[in-house]
Amino acid sequence: MLRFSQPITAGVMAAVTGFASSFAIVLAGLSAVGASATQLTSALLAVCLLNGVLAMALSWATRLPLSFAWSTPGAALLATAGAVTDQFDAAVGALIVTAALIVVTGCWPALGRLVGRIPASIAAAMLAGILFPICLAPVTASLELPAYALPIVVVWLAARRWAPRAAVPAAMLATAVAVAVYAWGTTPPPASALLPRLEFVAPAWDPAVIVALSVPLYIVTMAGQNLPGFTVLTTFGYRQPVATPVLLSSGAASGVGALFAAPTVNLAALSAAIVAGPEAGEERDHRWIAAFTGGATYVVLGLAAPFATLLVEAAPESLIQAAAGLALMTAMLNAVSTAFEREDQRLVALGTFLVVASGLTIAGIGSAFWGLLAGGALLLTLPRRR
């Protein structure tokens, strides 16, 4: 049993860290496009169950450390999409189209290769533009609610200084304390509100919302989650061809989950290194146990969905946005570094970033889509230097 203690511990740590560091982003994103409190609970429960079942089933079947998560960049995209739609059923329709695109990619690998050929400067600049308004939230919240937001920022900074890996969970814990203080004395919720439940959401098909959300969401999910997730596996020596079952399974799961308000499911990128690397044990052939354990942990964490939703509902929106912004700082830094890495494409990256960060909406279609088009146009128009 002792030989398996390290992968088991790594799996639990990866799941808890992944959940604690970004559940607020997921709930904020879904809330921005019109999800109700009960739909938020349903979404978090459904996506945790799907993450867990996929990780356990595929890790067991392939004996590979395959961990799954919600699309954090996708949730950030939804958080800035309030100007596109506040009709949640239309957003659900867009999520289903995104899931279908992922399934098609699993059946037709050429589409995945096409996404992989999008210049890193454009893809990263689009992601940076999506994250930029959220990463500003800690600043604005510190001005609006200094007594509550500043302690969260201080905790995050202190953890970044002495325990970087614990910085985001520590900030989320500080946020929970701040919300508890803020909501002190209010009427507690009824016991029925603490029961996890799924709620079916019938999708609506709005072409403008599908174009505005599905295409950017598909690109950031593939470029920001699935492709890096495969890269992590390759880095640690796992070279078996697993792309097709992963994409088919996660795409199908995303489509089912969307009917219960859940965001897109994909291969984990940020926490994948924990379950695929040396932290999960020296014996590489046993590291799939870490991913399996992480999946089981996600199923248990799904039962906490009502508590997480109540936390978000009880807090001022700016405070939750601040916590989400702190959680996304590293992703923002990585996106900016990648976007401006190539000197000959910096103007392309800058143009993409500015259009996306502007938040403009044309014909009901949001800035992420227009930023992608702007980046492509700049790449084709500007002279290239070797």
User: What are phi and psi for residue 267, nearest 5 degrees?
Assistant: -65, 135
The answer to whether residues 360 and 133 touch, using CB atoms and an 8 Å cutoff, is no
Q: What is the dihedral of CA 342, 382, 74, 257, to 10 degrees?
A: -120
- d(C-alpha 100, C-alpha 39), whole Å: 22
Alpha-carbon radius of gyration of the chain = 20
Rounded CA-CA distance 134/329 in Å is 9
H/E element, 110: helix 109-116
**Three-state DSSP class for residue 345:** helix
Cα gap 368→386, rounded to integer Å = 29
Q: How buried is 285 (Cβ within 10 angstroms: 0-12 exposed, 13-18 middle, 19+ buried)?
A: exposed
| Alpha carbon separation from 164 to 159, 330, 355, 380 (Å, rounded) | 6, 11, 32, 40
- 275, 14 Cβ separation under 8 angstroms: yes
Distances (CA, A) of 121 to 126, 129, 190, 223, 385: 9, 12, 49, 12, 15
Contact 307, 108 (CB under 8 A): no
pLDDT in tens, 244-259: 888 999 999 999 999 9
CA distance 219 to 77: 11
Helix, strand, coil tally for the chain in percent (to 5): 75, 0, 25
Best CA proximity match to 292, nearest among 108, 58, 25: 58
> Domain residues of the chain, as ranges?
2-381
Residue 44 tokens, joined: 């978090």
CA torsion 135→222→80→86, rounded to 10°? Answer: -150
Query: Cα(126)–Cα(368) distance, rounded to whole angstroms?
Result: 7
State residue 319 phi and psi, 5-degree precision: -70, -40
State pLDDT tens for residues 194-221: 788 899 999 999 998 898 889 889 988 8
Cα angle: 171, vertex 174, 179; to 5 degrees: 125
Spatial CB neighbours of 109, under 8 Å, sequence gap ≥ 6: 243, 244
3-state DSSP assignment of residue 270: coil
pLDDT reported for residue 240: 57
CA distance 89 to 28: 16
Q: Which of 66, 81, 74 is nearest to 26 (CA)?
A: 74
- Tens of pLDDT along the chain (386 residues)? 445 677 888 888 788 878 877 788 888 889 989 899 899 999 999 999 999 999 999 999 988 889 999 888 888 888 877 777 788 999 999 999 999 999 999 888 777 677 667 788 888 888 888 888 888 889 999 998 899 999 999 999 999 889 887 787 888 888 888 888 887 767 677 766 678 889 999 999 999 889 888 988 998 888 778 877 887 787 777 765 567 888 999 999 999 999 999 999 998 876 777 788 777 777 777 888 999 999 999 999 998 888 888 877 777 878 888 888 887 788 788 888 888 988 888 899 999 999 988 887 776 666 777 888 888 899 888 776 55
Element (H or E) spanning 69, and its range? strand 68-70
